Homo-oligomer: A and B are copies of this chain.
Amino acid sequence: MKRSEINLTRGVPPTDVFPVEDLIACSEAALSRDGSVLLQYSHAGYPPLREWIADWYDVGAERVLTGNSSLEVFAFIVQVFASGGQRAFVESPSYDRSITLLRHNDAAVVGIPLQKDGVDLDLLEQELEKGAPALMYVITDFQNPMGVTTSLEKRQRLAALAREHDFWLVEDAPYRQLRYEGEDVPSLWSLAPEKVLHMSSFSKVLAPGLRLGYVIGPQSVINKLADWAVDSHIGPVLPTQGMVYEYCRRGLLDENIERLKEIYRPRLGAMLTALDKHVPDADWTRPQGGFFVSGHLPNGCDIVDLQARAAEEGLKLSDGRGFFPNPADGQGFLRIPFCSLTPEEIDKGIARLGHLI
């Protein structure tokens, strides 16, 4: 009997958590009330949504820009600030799509090794001595792919270094609201609003198909990015912005986040338990939220070899090398997403992984 496949690769929400009925009702309400605005061209997005996000973050609306995904917003940031061959620092490992996007826009990517409490500050300072970057891209909460959260001490030091060396910290925070245990750490942005561009999106807290991202930053930067956005796409897709605004306005977003946390918390617990039980020798991270656990494989185990052997056993694994600016650094690295699997699937998948290692 062929074993059912277990997929430990994709960092996406399970489709059965999407609040489809509520979104249908919100779409209808938004288009009925404001169809002539939502179906026309806009510039910086749907103004009521921009204002709602601004209120949520307790800033003025002029400090918020929305776009078709936070990846698109990041593209605008890179194109405005780093596309002339400037240096861009990233955590190593980091989100593979952000590394690719930086390179497509001709930024010179420099990886700073990521530890379990944030980047290695000594190595960061060494790189800064060679020259400040245009920007440093960090995922401070429940990092993709490692799952680690940067400590308050390291955040404070990052903020101080950004001031001292005059570069932008781009804080990507799509998982920040999904904390299953422990206490929030102040965002980088709250520590240095004048040096931080704080990005997030509705992909993980509502639904990725909406492709609705945003950035909060100093007004002068938001103005520049907004001008660039207009020249790039005139305005973002609006009917979905109306739908999401209505969803937020009705108070449903907070409820949804609580609901998702109840679904994902036991999955994280099951993942950590299964790893302790089946693969105790690797140095797994122990996240308190987000989508990912990761570790370096024990015994010099090679990810490409493991991936091939796992496929034969009905287990899909990610090739971790793409998360590293220098791919060879990821030879023994494994990222494991846990949100889209049930606790039973997680135990079964990790048991297979332990057997293979």
Contact = CB atoms under 8 A, between A and B. Distances in A.
A39 B28 CA distance: 16
Interface residues of A, number: 49
A117 B239 CA distance: 38
A208 B72 contact: no
Contacts of A35: 18, 20, 23-24
A240 to B, nearest CB: 5
Nearest to A212: B237
Contacts of A79: 104
30 contacts: A15-B40, A20-B32, A23-B31, A24-B28, A24-B31, A24-B32, A39-B207, A39-B209, A40-B207, A40-B209, A41-B203, A42-B209, A68-B236, A68-B237, A69-B234, A71-B233, A72-B233, A75-B232, A97-B234, A101-B232, A104-B231, A208-B234, A209-B238, A209-B239, A210-B237, A211-B234, A211-B236, A236-B237, A237-B240, A239-B240
B208 A237 contact: no
Interface in A93-132: 97, 100-101, 104
Count copies of this chain in the complex. 2
Contacts of A210: 39, 237-239
Nearest to A72: B233
A330 B314 CA distance: 65
A40 B12 contact: yes
Interface string A212-232: 100000000000000010011
A4 interface: no
A19 to B, nearest CB: 9
A77 B41 CA distance: 22
B68 A233 contact: yes
